[in-house]
Amino acid sequence: MQASDKKLMDTITHAIQEKKGRNIVIADLSGIEGAICKYFVICQGGSAHQVDAIAGEVSDYTREQTGQKAIGVSGLENCIWVALDYGDAIVHIFQPEARDFYDLEHLWADAKLTALPNID
């Protein structure tokens, strides 16, 4: 992982943990031909309110720490699944039921998955 990628991943995961996001998984797609980005960061919040709070924290903290703004955001209307697109990384913030249903961790079977411990 390049230093700039590591800084982005560390910044995003720190922001998620600040709002008590759970079950963070980083899927490294960088070696997969045809992948839409280098990394997926996948996590969950327990409610629409928490998903919204996590998305806001990722957006604000990433802009403050790296100067990067998401080039696209979708899902804020209902906060069941919010996606923030940072070009090289897409952050997916789910409510638990939607995360189980879409199962993004296994969508890219060749991706290297890194699970981060929950911080209480």
- Specify whether domain 3-110 bears CATH 3.10.450.50: no
- Whole-number pLDDT of residue 1: 66
C-alpha–C-alpha distance, residues 94 and 52, integer Å: 10
- Whole-number pLDDT of residue 86: 95
Q: Average per-residue pLDDT in the chain?
A: 93
The answer to whether residue 11 scores a pLDDT higher than 90 is yes
- Whole-number pLDDT of residue 4: 83
Each residue's pLDDT tens digit, 69-81: 999 999 999 999 9
Using alpha carbons, select from 48, 58, 35 the residue that is nearest to residue 109.
Answer: 35
Cβ atoms 94, 101 nearer than 8 A: no
Cβ atoms 86, 68 nearer than 8 A: yes
The model's pTM: 0.94
Centre a 10 Å sphere on the Cβ of residue 40 and count the other Cβ atoms it contains. Answer: 23
